[in-house]
Amino acid sequence: MTLDIEKLQKRIAQCINGNCPSAEKCVRQIVRKQCSRSLEQIRIVNPDAITMTGGKCQFYKGSEGVAFGKGFNGYFDTLTVPQERTARAVLHAYFHNRTQFSRYRSGTLLLSPKRLEEVNALLAHHMLPPLVLDDMVVDIE
């Protein structure tokens, strides 16, 4: 997977710890080393807050990608009318409002693996099939 440095340097806090043993694999370090000099301000991890426990940093963010769910517009087409009503009510409640629900449904917001697992468990609790996603996107969590 290729990292989109331009996108990441605005999205994640960077690390300036020069003695990190995981620097070659940590996205925070990789982005810092390749950061555009045109940015006047960047977010960094507080160097005083970094503690190495068992050789691991609590701020380590691996450069391997994670699969996110993108949209589930087709999901409702697979349900009966009573199931669709129940699913909509359950998902509206889970996402807290219709606007958030619509953003996740359309794929504007991505479903993290953890959130997808929670949604599918909630749907299963209501005896509904798991979400049928429109697409999967690999990104840094």
Same domain, yes or no: 73 and 24: no
Q: For residue 58, which amino acid is it?
A: Q
Question: What integer pLDDT is reported at residue 140 of this predicted model?
Answer: 72
Final residue of a structural domain among 39, 57, 75: 57
Domain interval for residue 121: 66-139
Report the 10 Å Cβ neighbour count for 5. 15
| Cα–Cα distance, 113 to 102 (Å, whole number) | 19
Question: What integer pLDDT is reported at residue 116 of this predicted model?
Answer: 94
Same domain, yes or no: 81 and 134: yes
Same domain, yes or no: 47 and 86: no
Same domain, yes or no: 41 and 94: no
Q: What is the pLDDT along the chain (141 residues), one digit of tens a residue?
A: 566 777 777 778 888 887 888 888 888 888 888 776 777 788 888 877 877 777 778 888 777 777 889 999 999 999 999 999 999 999 999 999 889 999 999 999 999 899 999 999 999 999 999 999 999 887 776
| Cα–Cα distance, 3 to 39 (Å, whole number) | 18
Question: What integer pLDDT is reported at residue 89 of this predicted model?
Answer: 94
Considering the entire predicted model, what is its pTM?
0.65
Final residue of a structural domain among 57, 82, 101: 57
Q: How many domains does the chain have?
A: 2
Q: Which residue in 90, 74, 92, 93 sits closest to 128, CA to CA?
A: 90
* Helix segments in 35-97, DSSP class H: 81-94
| Cα–Cα distance, 86 to 92 (Å, whole number) | 10
| Cα–Cα distance, 74 to 106 (Å, whole number) | 10
Same domain, yes or no: 133 and 73: yes
Same domain, yes or no: 36 and 75: no
| Cα–Cα distance, 129 to 141 (Å, whole number) | 26
SS3 112: coil
Question: What integer pLDDT is reported at residue 36 of this predicted model?
Answer: 66
Same domain, yes or no: 73 and 134: yes
Same domain, yes or no: 45 and 75: no
Question: What integer pLDDT is reported at residue 104 of this predicted model?
Answer: 94
Question: What integer pLDDT is reported at residue 3 of this predicted model?
Answer: 65
Same domain, yes or no: 85 and 34: no
Question: What integer pLDDT is reported at residue 94 of this predicted model?
Answer: 94
Q: Which residue in 59, 79, 44, 65 sits closest to 110, CA to CA?
A: 65
